[in-house]
Chain A
């Protein structure tokens, strides 16, 4: 079967750095996505990786290793507004999106 694994919950301190991991086993690979979802709000697109390596967007970076079936989302200079759930999704060989259950990130002052 197809599976996406990510930690259920993480806690970090304001101003610090946190890395949210995502591992996947899918039938083929056509890209990996990270979405952010604040409580009661719509998931919003953060990043898309289709080639190995690091993609940086301001305070957020996303890394992909296709050979290891592994990605991480790196958040720097954490702010209280970064408290949210972070969803990892992989597009398989049929272009279907396989979703992880999400990681709830709690930021403490």
Chain B
């Protein structure tokens, strides 16, 4: 398999459930990201991992808990979510976390996990 793979593609959960989203990349990249995509809104960066160390947490509520066991795998653990957390959760990877004036450091995205919180 190549690219960035996310599972599950669709998830429906109640507010008291615990679930996890999984992301796997086969590109040899060193950085991985979680983004939230809501309709008609810009992508919101949630977490960044570089060489499996978390480098950013953009004021995300604690009901979202990331885990990066190695540089190829990324999880997003979900607990006691709210209906407003319903969105598409995108995982992405790139060669490194910060670019340079001479490098694009392009993000490769997965197809996302569509989450519905009832």
Cα distance A98–B109 when bound, in Å? 16
Is A44 interfacial (CB 8 A cutoff)? yes
Chain B, interface size: which category?
A: 10 to 19
Structural contact, A87 and B109, CB atoms closer than 8 A: no
Structural contact, B111 and A42, CB atoms closer than 8 A: yes
Cα distance A33–B111 when bound, in Å? 19
Contacts A30-B101, A31-B99 given: A100-B109 contact, CB under 8 Å?
no
List B contacts of A41 (CB < 8 A): 111
Main secondary structure of the interface of B (DSSP, over half): loop
Is A13 interfacial (CB 8 A cutoff)? no
Structural contact, B43 and A99, CB atoms closer than 8 A: yes
Cα distance A95–B97 when bound, in Å? 9
Chain A, interface size: which category?
A: 20 to 34
List A contacts of B110 (CB < 8 A): 42
Interface mask (B14-44 → A, CB under 8 Å = 1, otherwise 0): 0000000000000000000000000011110
Where the two chains meet, the residues of B that have a C-beta atom closer than 8 Å to any C-beta of A are 4, 40-43, 45, 90, 97-99, 101, 104, 106-112
